[in-house]
Amino acid sequence: MSDIRARILSVGTYVPEKVLTNAYFESILDTSDEWIMTRTGIRERRVVDRDNPMSAAEMGCRAARAAMERANVSADSIDGIIVATFTPDNFFPSTACRMQADLGCRDAFAFDMSAACAGFVYALTVANNMIVSGQAKTILVVGSEVISKTLDWSDRGTCILFGDGAGVVVLQADGVKSKGIQSCYLSSDGSMGDILKLPAWGSERYLSMKGSEVFKHAVRMMSDASVKAAKRAGLSIGDIDLLIPHQANIRIIQSIADMLSVPMDKVVTNLDRYGNTSSASIPLALEEAWTAGRVRDGSKVLFVGLGGGFTVGSAVCII
């Protein structure tokens, strides 16, 4: 392996201003704040304006500008943009190309990736490999989703769960081997594609999910992926300072923490305020933990996500 490591210099995020509380869903559906809180842990979520929706590219740009300012990197120094999203404005041009133009990242390569809620870890892994191989020095890794436009607002089993938002990390080459991304693990199981999906064509273009089935696979697959990434980094789960899982359901996160014997004070959760933002959830949680001082120089952070496909990914990063 090369001596180059890819370090996370900074993270930036953006969430729309509009807040949908559980009380809103009580007013349109047969549901209750009590059910949503106890079954999911979600109190509220942010959504774009339905009449004038912000795009995944626009949210991604806002998050990217915040991340670039924090890292003190200019648009000119960005070599590439990788966007994880299942809610692009177009099949093409990609969300990443739109961002490349809007941010003014001259000559940067740009492409989108589809791995649903594991998208951020997939994009981070690809970016890491491009940096370690010397193909790029600085990459924006983006998770940006406008999930509200994919929801069936009469389906209480799905529409209460999701929110919109974006998160971006600046990943840069560094020669310090003890810092940066230490390991990545990716896997998929396409045989379970039908239990969580969003068709691209046809009349029923809504996100659908068999929630309880997804739940049990999510716990098993994310726990397993966490152990694998730690092992590839030469660490045990006990060495990890902070676990940042995809934010889908507080009971899933607690079950993973239980299976891994990780105390909840080492786990970052913010889904109470944002719901499930798919590929944006891990950078949103990272940003919150970093701002709160929970991420420090040398912190060993484990990211893990699972999404429709099924896709699963995990990575260990030393900050």
3-state helix, strand, coil in the chain (%, to 5): 40, 25, 35
Buried b (16+ CB within 10 A) or exposed e, 276-302: bbbbbbbbbbbbbbbeeebbeeeebbb
Residue 218 binding ligand UT7, by CB under 6 A = yes
Q: Which stretch binds ligand UT7 (CB under 6 A): 85-93, 95-103, 139-147, 211-219?
A: 211-219
Q: Is 180 left (phi over 0), alpha (psi -120 to 50) or beta?
A: left
Q: Which stretch binds ligand UT7 (CB under 6 A): 73-81, 107-115, 167-175, 207-215?
A: 207-215
Buried b (16+ CB within 10 A) or exposed e, 201-222: eeeeebbbbeeeebbebbbebb
How many Cβ atoms from other residues are within 10 Å of residue 228's Cβ?
A: 18
Residue 40 binding ligand UT7, by CB under 6 A = yes
Q: Which of 211, 232, 235, 299 binds ligand UT7 (CB under 6 A)?
A: 211
How many Cβ atoms from other residues are within 10 Å of residue 191's Cβ?
A: 8
Q: Which of 78, 214, 227, 257 binds ligand UT7 (CB under 6 A)?
A: 214
Question: In whole angstroms, how close is the CB of 90 to ligand UT7 at the nearest point?
Answer: 23
Alpha-carbon gap, residue 108 to 101, rounded angstroms: 9
Question: In whole angstroms, how close is the CB of 143 to ligand UT7 at the nearest point?
Answer: 12
Q: Which of 24, 26, 35, 259 binds ligand UT7 (CB under 6 A)?
A: 35
CB 276 within 8 A of CB 151: no
Residue 269 binding ligand UT7, by CB under 6 A = no
Block residue for tokens 């041009």: 93
Q: Using the minimum distance from each CB to ligand UT7, give the nearer residue, 32 or 74.
A: 32
Q: Which stretch binds ligand UT7 (CB under 6 A): 48-56, 121-129, 153-161, 228-236?
A: 153-161
Alpha-carbon gap, residue 2 to 5, rounded angstroms: 8
Q: Which of 59, 237, 248, 250 binds ligand UT7 (CB under 6 A)?
A: 248
* Total interface residues for ligand UT7 by CB under 6 A: 20
Which residues here bind ligand UT7, judged by CB under 6 A?
31, 35-36, 39-40, 117, 156-157, 160, 211-212, 214-215, 218, 248-249, 252, 276, 306-307
